[in-house]
Structures are given as structure tokens and as C-alpha cells.
């Protein structure tokens, strides 16, 4: 198993541009989580899906952020328009039932 796969690993973009982060969970896992890591707030839960359905998106900062999971093997997190304060490492994680989370390697986003 290749684990949770995120792309890209690094993204540098200019303020105002659209950014799309991608995640492929572990096959067979039914829960998928998007977290954001910042120095100030540590790991923040943005949104999580169960069986491809968004369960809780209360952590999504504002309307500029959106996430989709069109099928069990793919999810996207989109920021439009991006702002410098969105700069962070974004982690995707998946799990099956109450099992531990398996994290991807993260996407380091820099918005200039």
C-alpha cells in the first residue's frame, strides 16, 4: 500500500490565484480528513468526509475554501482566491472506522 498520497508537495502561488490540493486516501478507508498546520495553531481540522460525504466543515476558514470528494479514492481542497495568510502545510489523512489516522506527506503552500 502506497499510503495516503498528496500532491503537489510544494505549491508557490501569487495572491489571488486559485490553488487546488489533491489527496488519494488509502484504498478501503472510509474517512478522509483535511488538516492545516500552522506555527500558531498547530494541526487544525478543516473538514472531514465519511463515505465521501462531508460530515463537518466547521473548520473551513471562510468561503474561499472548498473541499470535494467525488469518489472514495480522491479528494480536493481548493482555495479561491488565495491570500498570504493561507500559507501553511496542508495534510490529508484517512482512516477506517475508529482506526488511527494515516497521514499523507503534506502540501506546503506559500502564497506571496
Partner 1 sequence: ILNVEQSPQSLHVQEGDSTNFTCSFPSSNFYALHWYRWETAKSPEALFVMTLNGDEKKKGRISATLNTKEGYSYLYIKGSQPEDSATYLCASNTDKLIFGTGTRLQVFP
- The residues of the shown chain that bind partner 1, judged by CB under 8 A, are 33, 35, 41-43, 45, 48, 55-56, 91, 98-106
Report phi then psi at 45, rounded to 5.
-75, 125
- Rounded CA-CA distance 16/108 in Å is 17
Cβ nearer to partner 1, comparing 70 with 100: 100
Measured from the CB of residue 69, what is the shortest distance to partner 1 in angstroms?
Answer: 16
Cis before residue 8, ω within 30 degrees of 0? yes
Cβ nearer to partner 1, comparing 56 with 83: 56
Helix/strand/coil percentages in the chain, nearest 5: 5, 55, 40
Measured from the CB of residue 15, what is the shortest distance to partner 1 in angstroms?
Answer: 27
Measured from the CB of residue 94, what is the shortest distance to partner 1 in angstroms?
Answer: 12
Amino acid at each position: 500500500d502506497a499510503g495516503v498520497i498528496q500532491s503537489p508537495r510544494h505549491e508557490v502561488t501569487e495572491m489571488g490565484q486559485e490553488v487546488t490540493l489533491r489527496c488519494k486516501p488509502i484504498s478501503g478507508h472510509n474517512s478522509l480528513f483535511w488538516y492545516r498546520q500552522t506555527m500558531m495553531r498547530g494541526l487544525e481540522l478543516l473538514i472531514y468526509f465519511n463515505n465521501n460525504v462531508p460530515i463537518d466543515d466547521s473548520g473551513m476558514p471562510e468561503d474561499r475554501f472548498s473541499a470535494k470528494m467525488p469518489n472514495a479514492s480522491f479528494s480536493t481542497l481548493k482555495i479561491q482566491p488565495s491570500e498570504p495568510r493561507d500559507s501553511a502545510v496542508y495534510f490529508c489523512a484517512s482512516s477506517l472506522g475508529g482506526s488511527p489516522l494515516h497521514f499523507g506527506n503534506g502540501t506546503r503552500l506559500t502564497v506571496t
